[in-house]
Amino acid sequence: MIELEDVGANSEKIFDFALGYGIKLLIALLLLVVGRWVIKKFVNLSVLVMEKNELDTSLRSFLRSLIAVVLNVLLFISIASSLDIQTTSFVALIGAAGLAVGLALQGTLSNFAGGILILLFKPYEIDDFIEAQGESGNVKEIQIFVTVILTPRNRTVIIPNGAISNGNIINYTKAGKVRLDLVFGISYDASIKEARKVLMEVMVGHDKVLKEPAPFVGVEELGDSSVNLAVRPYCAPKDYWDVYFDVMEEGKEALDKANISIPFPQMDVHMEK
C-alpha cells in the first residue's frame, strides 16, 4: 500500500512538473514567434527611417545587421529566462568576450568608429576631391574601415578611417569651386602692370576659369632673380588640372609674345682687389 502511494505521489509530481514546464515551453515558443515578428518589423522600420534620412547604403546595411543581432541576442536571453535558465553567467561571458575582443582589436575598432562618423556626418562623399593624411585625390569608395582614393597620378591609396576622422580633411569639392595658386616670375626690368594685364587676359579668356570669384594677379615676392607674381584663378574642382596646365602654358606663351622675360636664376658676384 505504501509503495502504491509513493508511486502515485511521484506520478503526480512528474505530472505537475511536466505541466508547469510545458506551460513555460509554450510561453517560450510564443516569445520566440512574437519576438521574431517584432524584430523583423522594427528592423524594417529602422531601414525606412535611415532611407528617409538618406544615410549611406553601406552604413544602412551595417546598422540593419547590427540592430538585428542585438535584438536577437536580447530575445534569446529573454527566452532563456522564461525557461528558468540562469542567464547571469551567460551575460557576464558575453561582456568578458566583448572586452577581450575590444582590447585585441583596438586599431580596427578605431577605424570602424571613424567609418561610422564619416558615413554619418559626410565630410566628403564619393567623387569628392580631398586631401587627407598627406594624400590627395578623388574618393572612390567609403568603406566601414577604410577610404579608397585615386590620386592624380592614378595611384589607388587606401587610408584607414580612424586616421582620417582624427586628422585634418581638406575637401576641395564641398564649396563647388577651387582656387589655383600659381606663380610666374618676371624680370626686374619688366613692367608689372603689363605682365598683370597679360596674365589676366589669359585667365579671363579661358572658358573653364570662373568669373566669380574673379581671377587675381599680384606681386607675391621680390625674389633673388625675379619679381614673382601670384596668379589666382578659380574653377570647378573637376577642371582643376585642365586649368592648371592651360594657364601655365598659355601664360608663358603670352608673356613671351609681350616680350616679358622669365629670367633664369642669377647671382651677382663682386670681387675686391
- Closest by Cα among 167, 112, 173, 119 to 142: 119
Residue intervals of the chain classified under CATH 1.10.287.1260 are 2-104
User: Which pLDDT band, with edges at 50, 70 and 90, does 107 fall under?
Assistant: low
Measure Cα distances from 166 to 58, 132, 146, 204 in Å. 21, 10, 13, 40
Residue intervals of the chain classified under CATH 2.30.30.60 are 122-171
What is residue 1's predicted lDDT score, i.e. its pLDDT? 47
pLDDT average, residue stretch 179-208: 93
pLDDT average, residue stretch 17-36: 74
**How far, in Å, CA of 174 to CA of 162, rounded?**
21
- The fold of 2-104 is Helix Hairpins (1.10.287)
Cα angle value 189/195/196 (rounded, 5°): 135
> Per mean pLDDT, which range of 57-71, 94-108, 114-128 is the poorest?
94-108
The pLDDT of residue 251 is above 90:
yes
6 versus 194: which is more confidently predicted? 194
150: number of Cβ within 10 Å: 16
Residue intervals of the chain classified under CATH 3.30.70.100 are 178-257
pLDDT average, residue stretch 139-144: 86
Q: In CATH, what class is 178-257?
A: alpha beta
pLDDT average, residue stretch 251-264: 89
User: Which pLDDT band, with edges at 50, 70 and 90, does 5 fall under?
Assistant: low
What is residue 113's predicted lDDT score, i.e. its pLDDT? 81
Q: In CATH, what class is 122-171?
A: mainly beta
